[in-house]
Structure 1
Amino acid sequence: MRYPALLTDLYELTMLAGYFQKGMHEDEAVFDLFFRKNPFKGGYAVFAGLEPALRYLEELRFSDEDLAYLASLGSFKADFLDYLRTFRFTGKLTAPPEGTLIFNHEPLVTVEGKLAEAQLVETALLNIINFQTLVATKAARIHGACGEGVVLEFGLRRAHGPDGGLSAARGAYVGGVRSSSNVWAGQVYGIEVKGTHAHSWVMAFDDELSAFRAYAEVFPDSTVLLVDTYDTLKSGLPHALTVARELRATGHELLGIRLDSGDLAYLSRQARHMLDEAGFPKVKILASNELDEFVIDSIRREGGCIDIYGVGTNLVTAAGEGGGHLGGVYKLVRHAGHPKLKVTSDIAKATLPDRKRLLRLVEPDGSFHQDVICCEGETLSPGDWVYDPANPAHRKKIPAGVRFEEVREVCMEGGKIVKELPGLDACADRCAAQRKKMPNGTLRLYNPHIYKVSISQKLHDLRQCLMEESLKA
């Protein structure tokens, strides 16, 4: 899907025009995209949205219609609009592979290039990466809560507009939810599409049994019956069992039933008992109705017998305490050969200057110990001091025995993608594998342990020096 050049805030264009007017537009610049708080009050986030972001950068063009509209605003001079006519992104981008577990304060995406180019793309990169990362994180939490169960993304009708639904389906896939009701997402991204029928199907027939029989006749090998239109246990389940027997008599099998209301833990236990007693132990039980990771966790703790969870609203809108938005920001960290720092009275909101590396310290058993942000070209060793970026008074030494892994890689040079991008399955596999490597307690839904992210001595000293210089200015 191609994003237009005007997917931006007006102030990006006014700044761009100002840089152009002042002759600064070709200055060297480096920007970092990062977030300050893990979403959902959780212990991690899942990086997503990189491929769409890279495609946007590679295809960025101002059309004649775009330029005509900008001219109509009356704010931009003709020579600036002529400059936009041949505008291309020619910079460099460094980022983690999609599906990588990431944490607050870390430089996720670093954009290097001409000031005008790196500035203009701020809004679009935040729009694409913030949302897909947020949904991927929500999906990973939901997927983790369901144990051996399967999750389907059912949220298109509640998503934030058509592209919100499309982007949510993609982000959810990276987080581990590998099927969707969204047919457009199936076409665009190759996601497996699944669905059942609505209550209106049942209500359109004279009675529930007739509705079930009609659906089974049309889809004999993929019949999933919604059993709660009237009375789940007294009507829906008995009628579903009648149809299951009729299907079996013709060489087919009922695939599943769906519960969409009521006490899902209780109803699923009763449904499992009724299905098993009737000789249908392989019929799946699918549940929907405002599910999220906490509801799913509760259902499982109460002995629910659900095989498949259809999660809609709370997944595609990333709803929940500490959710709704990622809070990603995009800050200038180097300009015209000099490191830059956003100074604030709150050290937790001060930026980390200059080009940086993001290293993951890995234990001998493959588990993650902590992440360290250091300066470009800096080498770290066990025994080196590292500091909490939000509270530099807290420091610790890098332990012996860990190995250092680069979290990020260069994926765009000269405005062209230079890294083969993995498919969605590989991204989801990466997420699942990395979750297994997290320290104990960091994946908990309630009060998770905080995964440590530190800055190196050299980066700490650089930030302190720039802070002191700013106070003298």
Structure 2
Amino acid sequence: MKNLTLLTDLYQLTMMNGYLNEGIQDDIVVFDMFFRRNPSSGGYTIVCGIEQLVDYINGIHFNPEDIKYLRELGLFTPEFLDMLENFEFTGDIYAVEEGTFMFPGEPIIRVKAPLFQAQLIETTLLNIINFQSLIATKASRVCHAAQGDPVLEFGLRRAQGPDAGIYGSRAAIIGGCNGTSNVLAGKMFDVPVAGTHAHSWIQKFDSEYDAFMAYARSYPDKAMLLVDTYDVLSSGLPNAIKVFDEITKQGHKPMGIRIDSGDLAYLSRMSRLMLSQAGYSDISITASNDLDEYRVQELKNMGCDINSWGVGTKLITSSDCPSLGGVYKLCAASDGEKLVPKIKISEDPEKITNPGFKKVVRIFTGEGQAEADLIMLEDEEIDTKKPLTIFHPVYNWKKKTFTNYSVRELLKPLFVGGKCTYKKRRVMEIRDFVKSEMETLGAHYKRISSPETYKVDLSNKLWLLKRQMLHDSKGE
């Protein structure tokens, strides 16, 4: 991974310079990274990009060219630049496991470090986690709409630059896609790659049949033919069937067809009928053409006969929701030997933060279903032998009591005292983890439209602290 140390907003550096001038650069602080809304008005968010965050932290260093550039800006003191030359991250970072589903307001990353260090990493942390989490969540929604059909990510040509194409492919696989057209991503992350041919292949040959036959000669056991260059039902499909007959006689088994335009529901049903009549009832029909979770769900509801999906532009760009909007907020700062809770107050209630050094606990039913999350202060514990009552942090009369339940703390160490504790996992392992985690989330939370809101509550101790700090801020 390339050196991303200067991939930051200028104000991070000017604040750091100011902290040094004020003599508070070594004060210990706690920042939480969280988001305020799920993408696409959905019911959950898949956290992605943790491994790249670890690589970034491990690689932070200011090289001589960086220091020379910053010196030439004329904004920084010599003492500040000297500190940058010797910069080393020595703090603690805790985060949820990559692939965990999370909800608005929950800390998904917690940083406890000297102020000088914690401030520097904000921008890059958000850049990495926001984008990959957005795409992983979009992919998860598309795969949910596909109801178990294979989904292939085809978005590289429409991605917002090479990095978005590469790490968007990674996130899409983690979110549930079965493969990607992105060859570099396939190599970098050891994930399946997929693809056949474009319309230009068909156009280059004298006839559609010649084009199909030429492709089948090169890939007789992977003959997936694009049948909509001219006309699906009167030209593309009849020619594909002729080619399938030829390669079947030679002992090969054709893969299927792809339709990239037109009325996909109607064309897929008619194609299935024609293929079945020709003896190819088990062949795959893949659809593409500006698909997303809404379109896939619509086609499913219309009774399409599609069993594989190629999803590109609207996935890799998350076209209906182009950003996640995760934030990084100070929630505690040292006063001598102890951490003092901090709170951000706003006229917009959504932007009022939860103060203190916190953790997140997930509550599971006796059957292993995720039922609610509880944001707690770090020193709090839950005795699962006793009933647990939680309440809505705003509508306090809404309560729920658990008796037969288990809990799991979600924040795990990535760095402790500056030392990396993270163990890397293959992307396909993370994908499998996402699949198993999503099985614990009820279907009503995974609906594409109008999902039920998952319960995220505050412990009584944290709720009282927040309420007291709000009252104190108003002089009450």
What TM bracket, shorter-length normalisation?
over 0.9
Alignment partners' CA distance in 2, 1:164 and 1:440: 30
Partner of 1:102: 102
TM score, norm. by length of structure 1: 0.96
Shift of the 450–68 alpha-carbon distance from structure 1 to 2, 3 Å rule, reads same
Q: CA deviation at 1:3?
A: 4.2
Aligned to 1:353, which of 330, 352, 355? Answer: 355
- SS of the aligned residue for 2:210 comes to helix
Note if contact 2:332-2:356 (Cα within 8 Å) is conserved in structure 1: yes
Encode CA deviations 1:423-465: one digit per residue, 9 max, x unaligned.
Answer: 2222212221222222341111121111110001100111112
Aligned to 1:444, which of 444, 447, 454? Answer: 447
Alignment partners' CA distance in 2, 1:72 and 1:308: 55
Note if contact 2:191-2:428 (Cα within 8 Å) is conserved in structure 1: no
Q: CA deviation at 1:395?
A: 4.2
Q: CA deviation at 1:79?
A: 2.2
- SS of the aligned residue for 1:192 comes to coil
Aligned to 2:390, which of 371, 378, 386? Answer: 386
Consecutive unaligned residues in structure 1, runs of 5 or more: none
Q: CA deviation at 1:253?
A: 2.3
Encode CA deviations 1:278-318: one digit per residue, 9 max, x unaligned.
Answer: 11233211110000111111111112111210000111111
Consecutive unaligned residues in structure 2, runs of 5 or more: none
Q: CA deviation at 1:327?
A: 1.1
- SS of the aligned residue for 1:239 comes to helix
Aligned to 1:461, which of 459, 464, 471? Answer: 464
Note if contact 1:140-1:175 (Cα within 8 Å) is conserved in structure 2: yes
Shift of the 394–136 alpha-carbon distance from structure 1 to 2, 3 Å rule, reads farther
Alignment partners' CA distance in 1, 2:377 and 2:2: 35
One-letter amino acid of the structure 2 residue matched with residue 371 of structure 1? D
Q: CA deviation at 1:188?
A: 1.0
Partner of 1:92: 92
One-letter amino acid of the structure 2 residue matched with residue 424 of structure 1? V
One-letter amino acid of the structure 2 residue matched with residue 423 of structure 1? R
Indicate whether 1:413 and 2:426 are aligned.
no
One-letter amino acid of the structure 2 residue matched with residue 89 of structure 1? F
Partner of 1:332: 330
Partner of 1:424: 427
Q: CA deviation at 1:394?
A: 4.7
One-letter amino acid of the structure 2 residue matched with residue 316 of structure 1? I
One-letter amino acid of the structure 1 residue matched with residue 234 of structure 2? K
RMSD over aligned CA atoms reads 1.6
* Structure 1 segment 22-101 matched on structure 2, within 5 A: 22-101=22-101
Note if contact 1:46-1:175 (Cα within 8 Å) is conserved in structure 2: yes
Note if contact 1:2-1:55 (Cα within 8 Å) is conserved in structure 2: no
Indicate whether 1:208 and 2:208 are aligned.
yes
How many aligned positions are there?
470
Note if contact 1:385-1:395 (Cα within 8 Å) is conserved in structure 2: no
Encode CA deviations 1:311-369: one digit per residue, 9 max, x unaligned.
Answer: 0011111122xx21111000001112311110123333211111112011110011111
One-letter amino acid of the structure 2 residue matched with residue 329 of structure 1? V
Q: CA deviation at 1:246?
A: 1.4
Note if contact 1:215-1:223 (Cα within 8 Å) is conserved in structure 2: yes
One-letter amino acid of the structure 2 residue matched with residue 386 of structure 1? I
Partner of 1:470: 473
- SS of the aligned residue for 1:404 comes to strand
One-letter amino acid of the structure 2 residue matched with residue 248 of structure 1? T
TM score, norm. by length of structure 2: 0.95
Query: Percentage identity across aligned positions?
Result: 43
Note if contact 1:34-1:105 (Cα within 8 Å) is conserved in structure 2: yes
- SS of the aligned residue for 1:24 comes to coil
Q: CA deviation at 1:370?
A: 0.6
Q: CA deviation at 1:422?
A: 2.6
One-letter amino acid of the structure 2 residue matched with residue 345 of structure 1? E
